[in-house]
Amino acid sequence: MATQLLQDDGSLGNPSVTESLEFRVAQVRQLYAQSRAGILWALASVFVVAIGLSGEVSHVNIAIWVSVYLLIQAYRYYLGINFSKLESPDETIKWGRNFSFSTIASGVAWGSAAIIIFPANSPLYQMFLTICLAGIASAASAVYSPLTICYMPTILAILVPLSARFFYEGQQVNMFLGSVIMILAAALVSSGKQMNAVLAESLTLRYQNKDLLDSVTEQKRIAENLNKNLLTEIEERKRTEDNIKKSLEEKESLLKEIHHRVKNNLQVICSLLRLQRRHVTSQESRTVFKETENRVRSMAMLHEALYKSENLNRISAKEYVHDLANYLFQTYNAADQGINLHIEVEDLSFGIDIAIPCGLIINELITNALKHAFPRGRKGEIRIFLHCPADNECELVVADDGAGLPKDIHISHKESLGLGIVQALAKQLQGQMELNVLNGSEFRIRFKCTAHRGNEVTA
């Protein structure tokens, strides 16, 4: 409570701060801490005074005075022992009040010395008593300064009766001493007040520091919490990342499985075609089966290329065209017949939507050229070009320097399934096909594709 009030207005003397319960409790604790040794010193002093005055003053009076004083001190001692048993702040405040009253009572006992055991006949012993009481009052000013209610009445209780006694004696020197004692009393009260203020300030600072410490502790706790949350978040992210990675690996493995199964199914189709081929007798029918098998195989090669590719959905155009053309050359023993193969393909990668039609077109055109362009042992060359001259356009050229197509042939010739397939696939690619029959035959197909720069080409 006090700490909050200090935060709003930390100025010393702010009534709301100094009157707060917590602050008052702290003052009582200070009083207790300072006065513990005071009881012992007071006891010692009382015996010094008693013994010192025993030759001048009635022993009965001294005995009464010492007895009263000891009773008060016994009560103070009892309070001192009980302090550690206090539980609530209210009890502490009450203890402070009781202790202050006992201290004032003790002061009154000291003050009563000026009446009960005053050495009226000996100025020397009067001086002795005066010095003793002044000393006790000074000590009280220092020791009981935490509480105004404690130090101020005590000082006055000790010194005012002595001063009054001197004034009562009436001699000039006594009047002078009485005045000096009053001045001393005023000075001690003033010094007690100053000490009280210093102590209050130190308490206020302690609260401020406590507040600062609390704030630092709170900030530390917040920082620790933040750190903890951050660590949790990092862990969660890592876990998510691992899950994504795992899911990606699963996806890759599933894709590979699909390509594998596709290839296996294509193998079954090839096997069926081959088995069927063996059961037909005419050469023409056998050729048809063989050509169909080649078409299936060109697709199987594509799946193999996809399976081998890094991202499983794009293939290297260069590699695929080389593999496909070489496979067809081997199938038809073209190299042995003196036919060369020339391939120029840009370093591109194609998605499956582009790669399958392209592969089948190449398959048909090479097959067509190998079947018709080099009759009766004629030698020559088949050339394949694949490049993308513009950002969204690619060009595929398959050409040969063979006998050429018949002059009257039209691209959409219904009798040639191969050419029909090529035209359909060119259309599927949204492409334009051009046929040049000047030196052999040259098929030039321009088709649309996007983002083909670098190694990325998509349909």
Partner 1 sequence: MSGARILIIEDDLLIVMDLQTTLEDLGHQVVGTISRGEEACETIEETLVEVALMDIRLAGSLDGIATAKLIQSRFDIPIVFLTAAADVKKESGLTECWPVVSKPFREEELQLAIEMALENHRARNC
Nearer to partner 1, 56 or 293 (CB): 293
CB atoms within 10 A of CB 136: 25
CA distance 91 to 118: 39
Task: Judge contact between 444 and 433, C-beta under 8 A.
Answer: yes
Span 45-84, contacts to partner 1 by CB under 8 A: none
Among 28, 105, 207, 304, binds partner 1 (CB under 8 A): 304
Question: Is the Cβ of residue 35 or residue 367 nearer to partner 1 in the bound state?
Answer: 367
Q: CB of 279: closest distance to partner 1 in angstroms?
A: 10
291 lies in the site for partner 1, by CB under 8 A:
no
Residues 320-379 that bind partner 1 (CB under 8 A): 327, 330-331
Largest CA distance in the chain: 166
Q: Which is nearer to partner 1, 303 or 452 (CB)?
A: 303
Residues in the chain: 459
Quick one: 43 or 352, whose CB is closer to partner 1?
Answer: 352
Closer to partner 1 by Cβ: residue 67 or 271:
271
Among 308, 342, 371, 379, which residue interacts with partner 1 (rule: CB under 8 A)?
Answer: 308
Q: Cβ of residue 307: shortest distance to partner 1, in angstroms?
A: 4
Extended strands (E) in 267-326: 314-316
Smallest distance from the beta carbon of 365 to partner 1, in angstroms? 21
CB of 276 to partner 1, least distance (A): 10
- Cβ at position 224, least distance to partner 1 in Å: 49
Kindly write down the DSSP assignment for every residue of 338-359, as one continuous string.
Answer: TEEEEEEE-S-EEEHHHHHHHH
Min dist CB 299 to partner 1, Å, is 10
Size of the site for partner 1 (CB under 8 A): 25
What are 101's two structure tokens? 């009253």
Q: How far apart are CA 347 and CA 129, in angstroms?
A: 118
Least Å distance, CB 335 to partner 1, is: 13
x/- mask, partner 1, residues 223-262, rule CB under 8 A, reads: ---------------------------------x--xxx-
**Torsional sign, CA 139, 142, 145, 148:** positive
**Residue from 105, 132, 137, 300 in contact with partner 1 (CB under 8 A):** 300
Least distance CB 267 / partner 1 (angstroms): 4
Task: Tell me whether residue 57 or residue 300 sits nearer to partner 1 (CB atom).
Answer: 300
246 vs 260, beta carbon nearer partner 1: 260
End-to-end CA distance of the chain: 74
Q: Which of residues 263-282 bind partner 1 (CB under 8 A)?
A: 263-264, 266-272, 274-275, 278
What HEC string does 39-74 produce? HHHHHHHHHHHHHHHCCCCCHHHHHHHHHHHHHHHH
Q: Smaller CB distance to partner 1: residue 168 or 307? A: 307
Q: Are 434 and 443 in contact (CB under 8 A)?
A: yes
Q: Cβ closer to partner 1: 108 or 258?
A: 258
What is the closest distance, in whole angstroms, from the C-beta atom of residue 256 to partner 1 in the complex?
8
The DSSP line for 140-209 is HHHHTTT-HHHHHHHHHHHHHHHHHHHHHH--HHHHHHHHHHHHHHHHHHHHHHHHHHHHHHHHHHHHHH
Q: Sign (positive/negative) of CA torsion 210, 216, 219, 225?
A: negative
8 Å CB contact between 83 and 39: no
Nearest to 350 by CA among 450, 426, 258: 450
Closest approach of Cβ 257 to partner 1, in Å? 9
Residues that bind partner 1 (CB under 8 A): 256, 259-261, 263-264, 266-272, 274-275, 278, 296-297, 300, 304, 307-308, 327, 330-331
